[in-house]
Amino acid sequence: MCSNAKCVYYNQSRNLSGNSILLKITEHDNKALEIIVNYVTENSLHRKWILLLLVIFLNVYSLMYEILSTNYCVVIYVIVLFIIYNIVFTVRQERVLIVEPVGYQIEVHYVFGKSTNFIAWENIKSVFINEVVSKQRVIFIITILTKDTAKDASAIIPLFTRTMPRLTCLEAIYQHIQHCHS
């Protein structure tokens, strides 16, 4: 992006599920802040591809030699579709780009493609760390409180919901975001 970028925070830790994540916070010309949370891949995607190919091969082999009945093959096809769905929608990275007078650009990068959301600077009321009860656990999430000018209402947008960094990483992210807002 910019030639004057400097990495101000770099940390490798584990998320709430115990997976390795990498947090990198970079400043660009004192006007932009880029926060990236990556999964540190441990060849899990390769294992999923190998498993998928193995299941497909066994299914084709059993159909050719009529080892399994058609009902079992349908179940195997459903499992294959589930594995393909998990591979395609595996999150690799979550990224938030904060440009001070413009707004927040929130990106979620999948294995194939990405989704992007933008929040204008004037629509942001505050940013805070929120306690959330999820699956009978209390977890922490950085949340953006926005205002909707048309309805005079507020909306809550959680960040890093797919990578789920632990509280220590969220506190570092929060400190840099607050520095950007001051």
Task: Tell me the per-residue pLDDT of 130-144, one tens digit each, with 9 for 90 and over.
Answer: 999 988 889 999 999
Sign for the pseudo-dihedral over CA of 180, 110, 44, 143 = positive
Average pLDDT for the chain: 84
Share of the chain above pLDDT 90, in %: 43
Q: For 44, phi and psi rounded to 5 degrees?
A: -70, -30
Task: Say what the alpha-carbon torsion angle 70, 76, 81, 82 is, to the nearest 10 degrees.
Answer: 140
Q: Give the pair of three-digit tokens for residue 83.
A: 């594995």
Task: Tell me the per-residue pLDDT of 45-57, one tens digit each, with 9 for 90 and over.
Answer: 666 677 777 777 7
Task: Tell me the per-residue pLDDT of 67-103, one tens digit each, with 9 for 90 and over.
Answer: 666 777 777 778 777 877 777 778 889 999 999 889 9
